[in-house]
Structure 1
Amino acid sequence: MIIKSEEEALVRKVEKEIQQSILDFQKAYTGLTLQDCMAMAMMTQGVSLQKSKEENDETQEYLQKWSQLLPAV
């Protein structure tokens, strides 16, 4: 994986979040394999990302409606 220098800090932050999530799942569900915990961590990240995208879309729609109602300055 090639990481752009301007994205390095973001990638490291996400990596730490994923590692912590995996550790949290390992502690909470001691019977699960590492692979199971990794899958659950990835699913959690994916759901969080999707929620953020949907909230962003709703915000964009809201702003679009307001910009149509307000007179141009």
Structure 2
Amino acid sequence: MSSRNFFIVAFVLFLVLKTFNALFSKKKAEDEAPAEPTTKVCPYCQSEIAIRAVRCPHCTSKLEGFPEINE
């Protein structure tokens, strides 16, 4: 008789914890904002590069949309 009680209590505890975890993870997913991308793809060689790159480090192509940098 006592093993039956153990399994009933264990099953109820399992259901309670499973429900709690499901509610908590759903709320956590809603609170997180999507992170901004830190990389982009080079239009010439299709390599992944830093988002602020002016030249591709792989093919050394000058990327469009950036002003001239006077060195």
Band the TM-score falls in, shorter-chain normalisation: 0.3 to 0.5
Q: Which has the higher contact order (CA 8 A, sep 6+)?
A: 1
Bigger Rg, structure 1 or 2: 2
TM-score, reference length from structure 2: 0.45
Determine which structure has the larger helix proportion and give its number.
1
